[in-house]
Amino acid sequence: MAIYILRRLGYGLLVMLLVVTTISGIIFLAPVDPAQLTFGQRSDVSTVEAKTAELGLDQPLYMQLLHYLKDISPVSLEPDKADHLRKYRYHTLFRVGNEQLLVLKLPYLRESYQTGRPVSEILAEVIPATALLAFTALLLASLLGIFFGIVAALKAHSRWDQLISVISVFGYSLPSYVTAMLLALIFGYMLGAWTGLDIQGSLFVIDDFGDWQLRWQNLILPALALGLRPVALITQLTRSAMLDVLSQDYVRTATAKGIPARIVVVKHALRNALNPIVSAISGWFAALLTGAFFVENVFNFKGLGAATVTALLNFDIPVVLGCVLFTSVVFVVINLLADLLYAWLDPRVVMR
Amino acid sequence: MPKILDVKNLSVHFASPQGHTQAVDRVSFHLDQGETLGIVGESGSGKSVTALSIMRLLPSPPAGISSEAITLYPRDGGSKEIEISTLGESEMQRLRGAEIAMIFQEPMTSLNPVFRCGDQVTEAIRLHQKVDAEAARKQTLLLFEKVRLPDPERIFRSYPHQISGGQKQRVMIAMAMSCKPGILIADEPTTALDVTVQKAILDLMRELKEESGLSMLFISHDLGVISDICDRVLVMYQGKIVEEGPVQKILRNPEHPYTRGLVACRPSLKHKWHRMPTVSDFLDNSRHEAQVVSADETEQRRKSLYDSDPLLQVKDMLVRFPAEKNWLGRPVKWLNAVDRVSFDVFQGETFGLAGESGCGKTTLGKAIARLTDMDSGQIIYNGTALHDLSIEAFKPYRRDIQVVFQDPYSSLNPRMAIGRAIMEPMQVHKRFDSDKQRREKAVELLETVGLQADQFQRYPHEFSGGQRQRICIARALALEPRFLVCDEIVSALDVSVQATVLNLLADLQEKYGLTYLFISHDLSVIKQMCDRLLVMNKGKVEAVGYPEDIFRNPEREYVRELIAAIPGKE
């Protein structure tokens, strides 16, 4: 088990390495000069050249990549110079030779070309809001989807089943930004006075006194908008998995030993039907954490999606890399968790 | 003996868009206290549907159940009768498991794979007896001991996939007995099990019944099993009870033509038929007297068979699978599926390969057809060392050596018309120049195996199990093989259908001079079909020789047990 997890994390590292390499390769090919971008219109040749050297942009691509990898590695060998080590949050493990230190450090994601703020700070600002949004949306989607799926399976081929099918196909075909705009329009604007919801707004807002405030109500509409398609998908998956399981011999056995129908469905059948649902939910969760851009944009909700796209538009390479790196970490971790969950749900799954 | 269950005029039909099927047609019977009543019949005769409708386990719709009365009488001589057909669902739920319990055919799928075996039994106990978890656990362990499960504590903690098929059926029996029901309905409880396991389970059920005064309704397609365990038997055919009476009377003096056919079509251990009698022989009254193969005829056949050199020689075949792997994925422990087995097969011979599931017989068959790799050993076919050939050089031999598999339901592609399926191997091996010729050949083959030319465009789901197995045989014959590996090809079929397929194989052998490697777990079928047989156990050879020698005088204990376990020997 421990070996399995370690090996999976090893593969995960490989995935992240590939992601970083590919993304940097693509970005560095783009015909822009980041050093120039940093200064905008105030640039003159000498400052730009100095900045280029400082950022290491005059070095060959593979050197730039290696430097970046060294920056994000939690363990690395660094020269013992104060102005070099200043940017890291580190802990010295031991000294290597006279001038080198082996340090344990937080991955250093560099600073934004645009604002000069550390990328980790930018991420820390947007991730909680997006994570909360994705989590709420998916919790909602799972509960509703599994419920509707079970109802549809139990009443298969009835009016209820058909109604649920039609609604879920409709829900699935609706792009999330359309849903988002509709929800904003109806509940934020037209019924705004009654619902008390705003058309737009972030989870964390600065109020008139300059303090950060948590606005829970701003979570409702984006979560609904994001959750609608997963609800539709999970409903359909649950329906077909449950139909399959309900015709299994062991469900008949459970009924034959006198277990009430409700318990047969929830305990004996649902647990066997959960695997495809878990894989859908985990995939979607990872995607929502990172790709909620459209919905975030509609509601002007400051999250990871918005941050990534802004950075892309500005060629703010460190921020882009930071966002992408975080995304890949999320995917690796969630996939691992999902696999562990499979094994917990179904003892026949062997982890090798 | 007082009655415990009385069924009057039970009818079940299934409604579907295609129409209305009468599965059970006005069936009446009763079950006495302490009696074991058998229901025998082929698949589709309505025997399982009858049992399931007593328990009300049929989904309705599509099932429509009607009955004059299904009455459950009290066990202790009290006067409170229960009319099952008028019970509400929640009353029915209290009855299930507590008064009438049921065990099913497939122990592999009848236990919930995600719960521990022990928990599945305690669940029933806690539900019906309102005891706490610890008491239920103790009861379960006692029950496991009673059904003679080894190491009850371990089985309690095990998940169903971690124990064997026989053990699963014992868990099912423990579950069914857990609330001390008055009636146990057993729906083909041993059909999916090996003969020796079947015998042990039947012994156990008989014992439990005697101990607890249980009444049993025992459903099976196998008259042998029925005769081993039942007092009285109902014969069902096309939804009706056609005959009823004490088991011995039915076996000796069957009256209805269907019953007579059913009794006759079982392969006999006493003698070998020229042609197996079939049920349809009896039903249309066109019965020819079944002829026994005489000792002289056997002698003659052997002379002609064993005169020449062997067609296939297997020498020291070893096939092993990794049993345990280290963390790098490298195997550290091996399981020898076929452990240095040697034998010869002669041209025109039917060579039987017998043994229980997991003994390596299927692996051996696959290795000969090169569907699985051999670790060491030799396969010499018609003078050529097959084991030395590259995949490319082996290709012509694939035409010569064909395989027919066990499950006719999954070995045909459901989306391919059966005619196409028969043509496909000819296309792959470029037999004939045009599809027109191949089509003609396919039609000819369909007719050879007893199907019609106009069924060419039909799809597999439109055929019965026996017909599908015929299609698979036709497909194997499409390349004009000389050597056919028949891997349990009649195991999934009803006894009555089995006889017709066996007759077909015999006809084909005569017509084309085919050589068969006939793999089966059923010794009586092997004895009927084979010139010689080899008994395998755990990958090793236990016995090899002429059937009569092995049956009359088994040298090894294992072979003796195997023969003793054949059900329905008189």
* A315 belongs to a structural domain: yes
| B404-443 pLDDT, tens digit each | 988 888 888 989 999 999 999 999 888 888 888 999 999 9
| B260-271 pLDDT, tens digit each | 888 888 777 777
Shared domain for A25 and A88, answered yes or no, is no
**Helix, strand, coil percentages for chain B (3-state, nearest 5):** 40, 25, 35
Q: Are strands B36-40 and B215-220 parallel, antiparallel or unpaired?
A: parallel
Residue B485: phi and psi, rounded to 5, are -95, 115
Q: Count CB-CB contacts under 10 A for residue B405.
A: 20
Shared domain for A123 and A40, answered yes or no, is no
* A114 belongs to a structural domain: no
pLDDT band at A310 (very low <50, low <70, confident <90, very high): confident
**What's the one-letter identity of residue B501?**
V
Q: What is the CATH number of the domain that holds A240?
A: 1.10.3720.10
- Chain B contacts of A257, Cβ < 8 Å? 96-97, 101, 123-124, 127, 175-176, 178
Looking at residue A145, what is its pLDDT? 92
Query: Which of A97-106, A140-149, B455-464 is least confident?
Result: A97-106
Shared domain for A40 and A126, answered yes or no, is no
pLDDT band at A43 (very low <50, low <70, confident <90, very high): low
Q: Which residues of A touch B (CB under 8 A)?
A: 3, 248-250, 252-261, 268, 271-272, 345-348, 352
| A289-304 pLDDT, tens digit each | 765 777 887 887 788 8
CA quadruple B403, B405, B408, B413: dihedral positive or negative? negative
Shared domain for A181 and A69, answered yes or no, is no
- Average pLDDT taken over every residue of chain A: 82
Shared domain for A80 and A70, answered yes or no, is no
* A263 belongs to a structural domain: yes
Give the SS3 label for residue B482: coil
Contact at CB, A253 and B104, closer than 8 angstroms: yes
Q: Count CB-CB contacts under 10 A for residue B399.
A: 17
pTM over 0.80: no
CA distance A316 to A310: 8
Alpha carbon distances (Å) from B363 to B163, B314, B337? 22, 13, 7
pLDDT band at A35 (very low <50, low <70, confident <90, very high): low
Shared domain for A220 and A328, answered yes or no, is yes
3-state secondary structure B232-284: EEEEEECCEEEEEEEHHHHHHCCCCHHHHHHHHCCCCCCCCECCCCCHHHHHC
Q: What is the mean pLDDT of residues B537-554?
A: 89
* A80 belongs to a structural domain: yes
* A262 belongs to a structural domain: yes
- Chain B contacts of A244, Cβ < 8 Å? none
Q: Starting at the edge strand that comes first in sequence, how are the strands of the sheet with A100-105 ordered? A: A75-79, A100-105, A90-96
Alpha carbon distances (Å) from A219 to A31, A133, A282? 39, 6, 21
Q: Which residue has the tokens 């997006």?
A: A130
Contact at CB, A259 and B123, closer than 8 angstroms: yes
CA distance A153 to A245: 10
Tokens found for residue B8: 């009057």
How many residues does this entry show for chain A?
Answer: 352
Tell me how many degrees the CA angle B21-B461-B448 measures, rounded to the nearest 5: 110
Whether residue B61 has a cis bond before it, omega within 30° of 0:
yes
Q: Among A254, A256, A348, whose Cβ lies nearest the Cβ of B161?
A: A348
Alpha carbon distances (Å) from B197 to B40, B491, B521, B562? 21, 16, 12, 10
Kindly identify which residue of chain A lies nearest to residue B163, measuring between CA atoms.
Answer: A348
Q: Which of A222-226, B273-277, B282-286 has the highest mean pLDDT?
A: A222-226
Side-chain half-sphere exposure of B530, counting CA atoms within 13 A: 30
Residue contacts between A and B (CB atoms, under 8 Å) = 77
Q: What is the mean pLDDT of residues B275-287?
A: 75
pLDDT band at B77 (very low <50, low <70, confident <90, very high): low
Q: Are strands B532-537 and B310-325 parallel, antiparallel or unpaired?
A: unpaired
* A113 belongs to a structural domain: no
Report which DSSP code applies to B308. S
Looking at residue A177, what is its pLDDT? 81
Q: Count CB-CB contacts under 10 A for residue B268.
A: 16
Contact at CB, A252 and B89, closer than 8 angstroms: no
Shared domain for A175 and A154, answered yes or no, is yes
CA distance B73 to B3: 7
Q: Are strands B310-325 and B401-404 parallel, antiparallel or unpaired?
A: unpaired
> What Rg value do the Cα atoms of chain A yield, rounded?
25
Give the SS3 label for residue A347: coil
How many residues does this entry show for chain B?
Answer: 570
pLDDT band at B313 (very low <50, low <70, confident <90, very high): very high
Chosen from B114, B115, B325 to mutate, greatest number of chain A CBs within 10 A: B114
| A53-68 pLDDT, tens digit each | 777 777 777 887 888 8
Closest among B7, B186, B26 to B83, alpha carbons compared = B7
Secondary structure element (H or E) that encloses residue B395, with its range? helix B391-400
- Chain A contacts of B331, Cβ < 8 Å? none
Looking at residue B475, what is its pLDDT? 92
Contact at CB, B329 and A346, closer than 8 angstroms: no
pLDDT above 90 (res B483): yes
Whether residue B62 has a cis bond before it, omega within 30° of 0:
yes
**What's the one-letter identity of residue A269?**
A
Query: Which of A214-218, A264-268, B75-79, B358-362 is least confident?
Result: B75-79
Q: Which of B318-327, B493-502, B518-527 has the highest mean pLDDT?
A: B518-527
Shared domain for A280 and A292, answered yes or no, is yes
* A7 belongs to a structural domain: yes
How far is CA A3 from its chain centroid? 26
* A87 belongs to a structural domain: yes
Domain boundary among A108, A133, A161: A108
Looking at residue B323, what is its pLDDT? 79
Looking at residue A208, what is its pLDDT? 67
Shared domain for A167 and A237, answered yes or no, is yes
Closest among B158, B122, B166 to B140, alpha carbons compared = B122
How far is CA B36 from its chain centroid? 22
Shared domain for A231 and A297, answered yes or no, is yes
Number of domains forming the structure of chain A: 3
ipTM, two decimals, is 0.78
Q: What is the mean pLDDT of residues B74-94?
A: 80
Contact of B174 with chain A, judged by CB distance below 8 Å, is answered with: no
- Chain B contacts of A351, Cβ < 8 Å? none
| A261-289 pLDDT, tens digit each | 888 998 889 988 988 888 888 888 877 77
pLDDT above 80 (res A198): no
Q: Which residue has the tokens 């496909």?
A: B424
Looking at residue A119, what is its pLDDT? 86
- Average pLDDT taken over every residue of chain B: 87
Q: What is the mean pLDDT of residues B165-186?
A: 87
Whether B198 contacts B6, CB under 8 Å: no
Q: Which domain does A95 fall in, by range?
A: 75-108
CA distance B289 to B298: 19
| B30-67 pLDDT, tens digit each | 898 889 999 998 888 888 889 988 988 887 767 788 88
Shared domain for A142 and A259, answered yes or no, is yes
Tell me how many degrees the CA angle B93-B99-B105 measures, rounded to the nearest 5: 85
Shared domain for A199 and A228, answered yes or no, is yes
| B211-251 pLDDT, tens digit each | 888 899 999 988 888 888 899 999 998 888 999 999 888 88
Q: What is the mean pLDDT of residues A112-117?
A: 80
CA distance B339 to A143: 54
